């Protein structure tokens, strides 16, 4: 369970006060002073709250740290922020914020090795290596796809309950990516998905990429006929008036891995406000639709909103396949 939740429960503090108690160095776990409110602890962990202990200097940065140890730091990237600078050499990026945080917290010359990236308008968990040994180990894990990664997305329409999208990707003249057509040689991309919840005009989908191609999830869902809400690049050319999403509703929720000679590392990034707002709006719309739906005669089938192409997948040639999971 989360440390701040356990501190709040055991010592009668509000959630905010519990987080501040951890950040200020007034909470010990197993005899060691804790620092991360969101750290996962065992249910039987020995937790102590020392309210009279002098507060240590807090590290104030625009960064949400999900997990940190001597080898890695996992942070929650907000939508609208670049992971790393482009050729324009932007100063404010997720990488620069991580470096600033590490410098303020540990001093010296910090190291934050870049392992992977999220699109600018995608939110969620990103890991950086704190030393070169960890960097090489993480790069190898990502190369072998030996990483536990889960995204959640709001996909338009009514996708099948689950499936596998298997379609090679190519880069177009416009420097975008697209599905490889017959005769084109692309890079293999495989995405597994499962519907978590049906909503008004969309579905909350859990997505697990088996490969790590640029824009893979966005392209695959769009090609399957269920583009991510708010995706202005791979969504429909004519924007659906009902799509009020402020940005592409894609969030990297979970990230887990095991480094050599180390325990398993796992982190979860909570849904950001804009994602939760769109999700709740669609939930209310779905509930209203059910309340107002006419009663069907027994044995009849609905003509509208029926899942299209149940179990459909996209094959590597780019053609749609009616077999579940290909």
Please, what sign has the CA dihedral across residues 308, 313, 314, 317? Answer: negative
Rounded to an integer, what distance in angstroms lies between the CA atom of residue 222 and that of residue 202? 13
Which residue, 81, 107, 103, is CA-closest to 94?
81
Length of the chain: 326
Question: What phi, psi does 197 have (nearest 5°)?
Answer: -160, 135
Note if 166 is an active site residue: no
Question: Tokens 């824009």 — which residue?
Answer: 215
Long-range residue pairs from 81-88, CB within 8 A, at least 24 positions apart, any chain: 81/120, 82/120, 83/114, 83/117, 83/118, 83/120, 83/126, 84/114, 84/117
Active-site entry in 4, 76, 119, 274 = 119
Burial tier of 2 (Cβ tally within 10 Å: 0-12, 13-18, 19+): middle
Distance CA 183, CA 194 (A): 30
Please provide the DSSP assignment of 190-240 as one string: EEEEEEEEEETTEEEEEEEESS--TTHHHHHHHHTT-PBTT-TTTS-SS--
Sign of CA dihedral 48, 51, 52, 56: positive
Which pair of tokens denotes residue 57?
Answer: 């200097």
CB of 289 within 8 A of CB of 200? yes
Radius of gyration over every alpha carbon of the chain, rounded to an integer in angstroms = 22
Tokens 């190369």: give the residue: 143
Distance CA 152, CA 140 (A): 25
Residues involved in catalysis: 119
């Amino acid at each position: 369970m989360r440390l701040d939740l356990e501190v709040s429960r055991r010592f009668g503090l509000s959630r905010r006060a519990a987080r501040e108690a951890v950040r200020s160095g007034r909470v010990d776990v197993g005899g060691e002073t804790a620092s991360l409110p969101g750290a996962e602890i065992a249910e039987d962990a020995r937790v102590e709250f020392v309210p009279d202990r002098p507060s240590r200097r807090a590290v104030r940065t625009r960064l949400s740290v999900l997990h940190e140890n001597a080898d890695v730091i996992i942070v929650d990237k907000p939508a609208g922020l670049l992971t790393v600078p482009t050729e324009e050499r932007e100063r404010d990026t997720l990488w620069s914020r991580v470096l600033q945080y590490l410098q303020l917290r540990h001093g010296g010359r910090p190291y934050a090795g870049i392992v992977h990236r999220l699109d600018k308008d995608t939110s969620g968990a990103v890991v950086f290596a704190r030393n070169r040994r960890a960097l090489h180990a993480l790069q190898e894990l990502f190369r072998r796809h030996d990483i536990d990664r889960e995204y959640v997305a709001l996909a338009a329409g009514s996708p099948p309950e689950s499936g596998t999208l298997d379609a090679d990707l190519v880069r177009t003249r416009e420097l975008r990516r697209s599905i490889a057509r017959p005769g084109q040689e692309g890079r293999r991309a495989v995405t597994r998905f499962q519907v978590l919840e049906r909503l008004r005009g969309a579905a909350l989908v859990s997505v697990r990429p088996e490969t790590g191609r640029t824009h893979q999830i966005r392209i695959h869902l769009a090609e399957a006929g269920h583009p991510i809400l708010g995706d202005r690049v791979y969504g429909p050319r004519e924007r659906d008036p009902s799509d009020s999403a402020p940005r592409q509703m894609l969030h990297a929720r979970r990230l887990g891995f095991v480094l050599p000679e180390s325990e398993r590392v796992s982190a979860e990034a909570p849904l950001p406000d804009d994602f939760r707002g769109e999700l709740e709006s669609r939930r209310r719309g779905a509930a209203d639709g059910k309340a107002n739906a006419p009663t069907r005669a027994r044995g009849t089938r609905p003509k509208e909103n029926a899942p299209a192409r149940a179990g459909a997948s996209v094959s590597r040639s780019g053609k749609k396949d009616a077999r579940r999971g290909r």
